[in-house]
C-alpha cells in the first residue's frame, strides 16, 4: 500500500531526525506552500485584482517576471508583492514548528525562499543562507555596488500612493551610487547582488 509506505518512511525519517546531532535543512517553495503561503488562488486574487485585470497576471510567481514598461508601474506591483509576502504575512506555524524542532541541535538552513519566514520563526541568521535573495532588500539594478537596502519604509511609502497601478515618479527608487534604476534583491538575472553575510 502506497499510503502505508509513506507512513513508514515518514516514521523512519522522524526517528532518524530525533537522533541526529547535526541537521542541514534545504527549504524550497514546497515548504512555504505547505505552510500556507500560496502564490496563487484566493490569496492572489484578493490582493492583486487591479493588476490581474490590467496585466492578466496568473499568479505571484510568474507575475514576478512581468516586463513592466515603466518604473512607476513596476514599483506599484512590487510594493504590493513585497508588502504582502514579506511584511504583512506573520510567521507561519509550520516554520515555527520546524524551528522548535531544530533549535536545540546544530543546524544550518539553505533556502531558496525569499519571504523571511525562517528569520521570523527565529532561525539564527548566522545559520541561514538565502540563496535567492530576500524581498526585504533593494539593490542597484546594474549591481554597480554590493550594498543591499532594507526597504520596509520605502515599500510602505509606495503602497500609500499607488493610483491606477502606478506610484508617483518622485517615489521611484534610484541607485545612490550610479543614479540608475533599483531592483528587488532576487536572483533572477545576472546582476544579483550577494552581500558579505
- Three-class DSSP category at 32: helix
If residue 108 lies in a helix (H) or strand (E), which one and from where to where? strand 106-111
Q: Is residue 178 within the footprint of Zn ion (CB under 5 A)? A: yes
C-beta of 10 vs 177, nearer to Zn ion: 177
By rule CB under 5 A, what string of x and - marks binding of each residue 93-112 to Zn ion?
--------------------
**Out of 110, 177, 188, 189, which residue is the one contacting Zn ion (CB under 5 A)?**
177
Shortest reach from residue 141's CB to Zn ion, in Å: 7
Q: Is residue 191 within the footprint of Zn ion (CB under 5 A)? A: no
Residue 69 makes CB contacts below 8 A (sequence gap 6+) with: none
**Out of 31, 140, 171, 184, which residue is the one contacting Zn ion (CB under 5 A)?**
140
Pairing mode, if any, of strands 106-111 and 22-27? parallel
C-beta of 34 vs 177, nearer to Zn ion: 177
If residue 147 lies in a helix (H) or strand (E), which one and from where to where? none
Q: Is residue 175 within the footprint of Zn ion (CB under 5 A)? A: yes
Residue 179: C-alpha distances to residues 99, 145, 173 (Å): 41, 12, 9
Binding region for Zn ion (CB under 5 A): 140, 144, 175, 177-178, 180
Amino acid at each position: 500500500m502506497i499510503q502505508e509506505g509513506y507512513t513508514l518512511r515518514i516514521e523512519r525519517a522522524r526517528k532518524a531526525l530525533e537522533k541526529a546531532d547535526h541537521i542541514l535543512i534545504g527549504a524550497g517553495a514546497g515548504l512555504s506552500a505547505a505552510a500556507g503561503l500560496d502564490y496563487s488562488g484566493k490569496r492572489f486574487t484578493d490582493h492583486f485584482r487591479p493588476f490581474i485585470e490590467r496585466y492578466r497576471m496568473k499568479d505571484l510567481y510568474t507575475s514576478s517576471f512581468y516586463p513592466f514598461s515603466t518604473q512607476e508601474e513596476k514599483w506599484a506591483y512590487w510594493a504590493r508583492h513585497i508588502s504582502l509576502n514579506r511584511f504583512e504575512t506573520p510567521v507561519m506555524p509550520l516554520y515555527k514548528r520546524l524551528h522548535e524542532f531544530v533549535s536545540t541541535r546544530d543546524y544550518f538552513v539553505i533556502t531558496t525562499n525569499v519571504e523571511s519566514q525562517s528569520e521570523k520563526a527565529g532561525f539564527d541568521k548566522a545559520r541561514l543562507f538565502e540563496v535567492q535573495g530576500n524581498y526585504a532588500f533593494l539593490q542597484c539594478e546594474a549591481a554597480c555596488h554590493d550594498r543591499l537596502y532594507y526597504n520596509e519604509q520605502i515599500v510602505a511609502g509606495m503602497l500609500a500612493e499607488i493610483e491606477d497601478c502606478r506610484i508617483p515618479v518622485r517615489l521611484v527608487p534610484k541607485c545612490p551610487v550610479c543614479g540608475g534604476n533599483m531592483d528587488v534583491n532576487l536572483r533572477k538575472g545576472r546582476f544579483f547582488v550577494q552581500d558579505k553575510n
